[in-house]
Amino acid sequence: MAQPAATSSDDTMLSEVVVTARRKAESLQAVPQTVNAVTGGTLTKLNIQRFEDVQAIVPGLNLSSGNTGYTTAATVRGASFQVESGAPPTVAFYLNEATIQSSYLFQSMFDVGQIEVLRGPQGTLRGVSSPSGAITVTTQRPNLSDFGGVGNLSVNDQHGRNLNGAVNLPVIKEVLAFRLAGIIDDNRYDQVRSLNNPLHPSQQSWGVRPSVRFEPNDNLAVNLMYQHFDRKLTSFNPVESLSLNDPSAPVVNPIIHAQDRLGLTDEPLSNHTKQDIVTGNVDYRFAGQKLSYVGSWSKQDILAFTPGDTANAFPDREYGQTLHSRAKQATNEIRLASEDRLFGQFDYTVGAYLSHFNPPSDLTNQSAITLFGRLVSVVDTPIQRRSKARERSIFGNATWHIGEATELSGGLRHIWYDDSGLLKVNGATLSNLHSKDEATIYNVSLSHKFSQDFLVYANTGSAFRPGPSIIGIFRPPTPLITKYTELENEKSKSYELGFKSTFLDKRVLLNVAAYHQDFKNFIYRGPSVAYIDLNQLGPRVNTANFGSSVDAKIDGVDIDAAFQVAQGFNITAAFSYAKSKIKNQFVACNDLNRDGVPDINAGTPTLAQLQASTGGEALAQCQVSDPISFTPKWSLVLQSEYAKPISDSVDGYVRGLLSYYPKNRQDPYNTYDNVTDYGLLNLYGGVRSKDGAWDVSLYAKNITKTQKTLNRANGVVTTQFQALQPPTFTSVVSGNSASSYLGDVRLTPVREFGVNVRYAFGSR
């Protein structure tokens, strides 16, 4: 939402928020689309340390990195995305205007200038096509004039320590400047421990970011940024007793409530991620035009381990899956745009974009071999994935200023996309695919200012995403395996109508937008489904989140409001609603009774049950009319701050942040994951100098200690194994050992009390 702040001329007026949603600096109230802007100052005020926590101040935005720390997900306007699907995101991510993989942003944040959440189809003006929106993160740029710096320390009662800061150095005043920012962050992640391991979860990370700004004259501007980030994560998957959710289930000790934050495994999940990224922005102005280049190069190395004995069927013996992923990406964009209107009426932008993405990964899946119920061996299955993707596009946008009040804008982007993928399991090639796709997307917008304080607009746009190959299925294909792993290209069209207004002498802001979006072959990733897996030992039961190409629609409303009540006292509110629905489409499902309807609380079947229900296939399919996202249909965010002078040089302040979510059914075939309505309230209070040089505050996050379980699996945690069979003990039969606990538990954050100290000098 737009953050109100007092102007220097009148403390009862809302300050102007400047955004770059259309690749140029302009007032938020002049942009004919829905944009939420979060400044670096707001992130500091609200002690937002992780990228995921931005969802607390932007309604309708859902961000998650999962227990592994690298399975990042984002949802805007009811269209979900999970990186595991292998699809391009529904929400595109940008760092300093360069396209970037989402995992580079899901980390501890430091020295951020502004975050913008753009809603609706994107792509005719920036980077890549995305159907739901884009999230842009801009880091602080060096100041050419003054030496300065800032330091920020946060300490909380949950063993969290966060120290970050930056130093700004003008090397040649008004020409060349250097900025060095860094962070050290140490915390206990989600506070989940294990019944069978005394280890505390931990997340330890550090990062460094040097930036250079060079402006030798009025025509040339160069900004370069390099960032290295290193994170080590140790965590456990929390569980909850089935008997607490199903009265018919036997009570098995120990009883574990979700709020206990306990797991089962002997060993934790572990993840070590190293990231390097370079971004470059060059602008050259000539004859009323601007030639711009935006580029990036990034490299990510992930080494991760996921335990395989999830039910702890074999105490003190651990095995699992080891992943080594190495991804590189390079992006280049060049564009030419007018700075002075042609013939006094027209603006234009034309350009070209090129991206190369190469994310090879090597996995080792370990399978348990048992004899008379005891673990006697572990068999390694090596898995290699090799893939490359290249995207090229040309784009153009033109705006006709019809007088001073009306604006008609339209843009096109033509995309060429080609990718290849190779999958080898135990040395055998299971798939070797190559595809080429081509598409054109558009955007048209019409806006009219009835006054300087009231803008009405309408826009329509389209988006395209190439169909992916779903990752994680490592067996020979069958017709249904192919159908639900090799997906069709997705196309969508969106329509939005809205207005932006300020009134009462700019003390009140109200922005409202309504939208409708139609999808053809939406890339849907459904709940976990049981299927018949194959490895070198034979068939076994496994589970996976398969994809589907489904027709769907979304309808929604976004509202943003702010009120400067009096000097030093402001209130903001933002509301987002999105209702999505699949249009009677086929998806992969659990259907043991073969009635064509997904089973409720299916759990993990035996191999015999699954073979009997799939009719010779590897999995079942059902026809459904469900939501395409299991996130809440709406959410509401309220913020308020009251500041009052304590002395001539010191102000005192209190502020609050309330994020409210309604009851949510989530997966309609899992009664365990229904969520009642809840709110999360954060409170802040402190003192600061009037010139902003220092600030000391106390904060309490989730002060009401709201404890809600946001997700549970539809069945108990199960360990799969393959048992040697007498009398020869050379053949195996698939089996499983079921616990009495539900897995995939996700909870609201713990209550946290902390203190934050900030000191700045010079240019800051």
**Tens digits of residue pLDDT in 202-216:** 999 999 999 999 999
The reported pTM is 0.93
Residues 6+ apart with CB under 8 A from 529: 543, 544, 545, 546, 588, 589, 590, 619, 620
| CATH, range 147-762 | 2.40.170.20
Write phi, then psi, for 458 (nearest 5 degrees).
Answer: -140, 140
Q: What is the pLDDT of residue 5?
A: 38
Q: What is the pLDDT of residue 681?
A: 97
Comparing CA positions, the residue from 513, 514, 501, 515 lying closest to residue 562 is 501
DSSP state letters, 601-618 = T-----HHHHHHHHTTSS
Residue 336 bridge partners (DSSP) = 291, 350
Residue 730, amino acid: T
Stated as kind and residue range, the H or E segment containing 42 is: helix 40-45
Q: What is the pLDDT of residue 432?
A: 87
- Are 250 and 200 within 8 A, CB to CB? no
Stated as kind and residue range, the H or E segment containing 559 is: strand 547-566
Q: How far is CA 727 from CA 634, 724, 730, 732, 734, in A?
A: 60, 9, 8, 11, 17
Q: What is the pLDDT of residue 85?
A: 67
Q: How far is CA 689 from CA 193, 433, 695, 760, in A?
A: 41, 61, 7, 11
- Are 313 and 723 within 8 A, CB to CB? no
Q: What is the pLDDT of residue 84?
A: 67
- Are 102 and 74 within 8 A, CB to CB? yes
CA 330 to chain centre: 21
Q: What is the pLDDT of residue 2?
A: 46
Residues 6+ apart with CB under 8 A from 730: 724
- Are 549 and 524 within 8 A, CB to CB? yes
Comparing CA positions, the residue from 80, 81, 78 lying closest to residue 60 is 78
The domain segmentation of the chain, as residue ranges, is 147-762
Report helix, strand and coil shares of the chain as percent, to nearest 5: 5, 60, 35
- Are 737 and 541 within 8 A, CB to CB? no
Which tens digit of pLDDT belongs to each residue from 482-536? 999 999 999 999 999 999 999 999 999 999 999 999 999 999 988 889 999 987 6
Rounded Cα gap, residues 181 and 1, in angstroms: 26
Q: Which residues of the chain have pLDDT under 50?
A: 1-10
Q: What is the pLDDT of residue 544?
A: 87
Q: What is the pLDDT of residue 538?
A: 80
Rounded Cα gap, residues 211 and 221, in angstroms: 13
